[in-house]
Amino acid sequence: MGPKGRVSPVDALVDQIKTLIIDHLNLEDVDPAGVDPQAPLFGEGLGLDSVDALELVMLMETTFGAKIGSSEVGRQAFATLNSLANFVHEHRTK
């Protein structure tokens, strides 16, 4: 939370992206409140795979206009929910 109890823009994006991922990827057994923003999105964390990664790239571009220009940028952006929210915050055009 930011000053005076306000939610920062990045924290608000974390919640928005968390819900988008769960809804778009049909993660029916995942409770948004239980998703750790610091946990990895792939592997042991949220358990996403390479097909999910492609869908997330498209979702971030269509929803926020945030384009992932290379696989290295994608690896960094998709490390955790927090890193993805920071990437979108810095690169969004919508």
CATH number at residue 73: 1.10.1200.10
32 inside domain: no
User: Domain tally for the chain?
Assistant: 1
* pTM for this model (two decimals): 0.87
> Which one, of 43, 21, 44, 48, lies nearest residue 32 by Cα?
21
Res. 5 pLDDT band, cuts 50 70 90: low
Distance CA 77, CA 91 (A): 11
Instruction: Identify the domain containing residue 75 by its residue range.
Output: 7-26+37-91
Res. 7 pLDDT band, cuts 50 70 90: confident
Residues ≥6 apart with Cβ < 8 Å to 48: 21, 25, 41, 42, 56
31 inside domain: no
Structure confidence by residue, pLDDT tens digits, 11-65: 999 999 999 999 999 988 888 889 999 999 998 888 899 899 999 999 999 999 9
Distance CA 55, CA 53 (A): 5
Distance CA 62, CA 23 (A): 15
73 inside domain: yes
84 inside domain: yes
Tell which phi-psi region holds residue 43, choosing left (phi > 0), alpha (psi between -120 and 50) or beta: left
1 inside domain: no
